Amino acid sequence: MAADWLDDPRLHRLFSAIERDGDRAYVVGGAVRNTLLELPAGDVDVATTALPDVVSARAAAAGLKPVPTGIEHGTVTVVVEGHPFEVTTLRRDVESHGRHATVAFGRDWSVDAHRRDFTMNALYASLDGVVHDFVGGIADCRAGRVRFIGAASRRIAEDYLRILRFFRFHAAYGRGPIDTEGLAAAIAARDGLAGLSAERIGQEISKLVVATGAPTTVATMSDAGLLQRVLGRVADLGGFARLHRLVGLPGGPRRESDDAAVFLAALAVWTEADGWALAERLRLSNAARDRMAGAIARAPTVDPAGDTATIDRLLEAIGREATRDAVMLAHGRARLSFAATAASLAAAAMRPVPVMPLGGRDLLALGLPRGPGVGALLAELRAAWVADGFRDDRAALTTRAKAAVDRILRDRSNSSRGV
């Protein structure tokens, strides 16, 4: 296996520090899996036979910075030239009782591999690029098959979050039909989802909905009776699939965590109240909550024909991101054709955001006294400027503002004189 990270001198410094007195270290998990799948490697994590306190001591002696971030689980973060690597000692289960199994440190790579969740996550690579596979993970990577290690039911019973991870990994890395044993085990263990924290569920679902294969995977979850258990509401599978078809368009949705909220809105938000309720159920951030609720509220304001004047008004009123969201949700709810949506998204991405070239200080300079009248006149001028298609420049707005200020001052003078 070839990969840029295998040549990273910081990783070589780390291995040189750890691999002493018979101890070995391998890169494990996502970086190896993603490299085999020809995807960005992401974080490079390390497994080792060295005990955590030994890792810390050797790292410090080599001039590296050890940080005991998860020492009780055998993990030490070692900072090399400003870059953090998570280094975890091999483990074996002593007693299994759900997520918090009692473990002991070990030296057997096969035993460590067999306690992990999926075969494609239990691959180890040495710095010479040789991949060590104890569970058939290489073949599963090549086949696009997400498969539990050993009995799927047992792996799930160790941590019921693995039900959602199974679907999320299939959406991200799977090709072809979902693994039948894993699916059957997930359905059988569905009651275990009730014991999971809302935060853990929300994190998994947010990652799942942006994955490449999310539309078909979410449909599978719905057919299995799992989706409504998670979301607590009826899902719009068609709208969700329509939104995914916009990925890649200029201004379209991105398969990134930042856009998870708009994918969730397309899937399960029908009203503003739904957005608030779903955010509470999944313990999403306030930003995600507001984004879902705002998108569904503004979607009806998008012109079905893709009129750019409507886009300009939205850009001025709510900004670029919220305008994109409104267009995407309008398409998800089948209000816009694909062509109109593409045009609207491109306009939302590339047209300048209109900014009224006149402010409160300008009104004060024209003689308007400070007070609530300044905001009221600005709102009046802005409404006229928007209605006129943003055509008035600063000079034209100043002329209009001066006439309004003169009128206000005249009316106040007449009022004070009892006229």
Same domain for 371 and 400, yes or no, is: yes
Element (H, E) at 138: helix 137-143
pLDDT digit string, tens, across residues 61-96 = 999 999 998 888 899 999 999 999 999 999 987 666
Give the pLDDT score at 71.
83
CATH number at residue 168: 1.10.3090.10
Tell which of 355, 371, 405 closes a domain. Answer: 355
Give the pLDDT score at 155.
95
Number of domains the chain is built from: 4
Same domain for 406 and 349, yes or no, is: no
What letter would DSSP give residue 160? T
Six token digits for residue 43: 């974080």
Q: Report whether 287 contacts 322 (CB < 8 A).
A: no
Q: What are phi and psi of 13, to 5 degrees?
A: -60, -40
The model carries a pTM of 0.88
Give the pLDDT score at 101.
62
**Which residues form the domain of 330?**
232-355
Six token digits for residue 198: 């809302």
Tell which of 340, 355, 370 closes a domain. Answer: 355
Rounded to the nearest integer, the mean pLDDT of the chain is 93
Q: What is the spatial distance between Cα 52 and Cα 90, in angstroms, rounded to a whole number? A: 10
Same domain for 225 and 237, yes or no, is: no
Q: Using only C-alpha atoms, what is the Rg of the chain?
A: 29
Same domain for 82 and 32, yes or no, is: yes
Tell which of 229, 246, 266 closes a domain. Answer: 229
Q: What is the spatial distance between Cα 17 and Cα 235, in angstroms, rounded to a whole number? A: 52
Same domain for 9 and 99, yes or no, is: yes
- Tens digit of pLDDT at every position of the chain (419 positions): 889 999 999 999 999 999 999 999 999 999 999 999 999 999 999 999 999 999 999 999 999 999 998 888 899 999 999 999 999 999 987 666 555 566 789 999 999 999 999 999 999 999 999 999 999 999 999 999 999 999 999 999 999 999 999 999 999 999 999 999 999 999 999 999 999 999 999 999 999 999 999 999 999 999 999 999 999 999 999 999 999 999 999 999 999 888 999 999 999 999 999 999 999 999 999 999 999 999 999 999 998 888 888 999 999 999 999 999 999 999 999 888 999 999 999 999 999 999 999 999 999 999 999 999 899 999 999 999 998 889 889 999 999 999 999 899 988 877 766 65
Same domain for 344 and 364, yes or no, is: no
Same domain for 139 and 31, yes or no, is: yes
Which region holds residue 120: left if phi is over 0, alpha if psi is between -120 and 50, else beta? Answer: alpha
Give the pLDDT score at 419.
55
CATH number at residue 102: 3.30.460.10
Length of the chain: 419
pLDDT digit string, tens, across residues 167-215 = 999 999 999 999 999 999 999 999 999 999 999 999 999 999 999 999 9
Classified as helix, coil or strand, 42 is: coil
Same domain for 214 and 163, yes or no, is: yes
Q: What is the spatial distance between Cα 14 and Cα 330, in angstroms, rounded to a whole number? A: 51
pLDDT digit string, tens, across residues 366-396 = 999 999 989 999 999 999 999 888 988 999 9
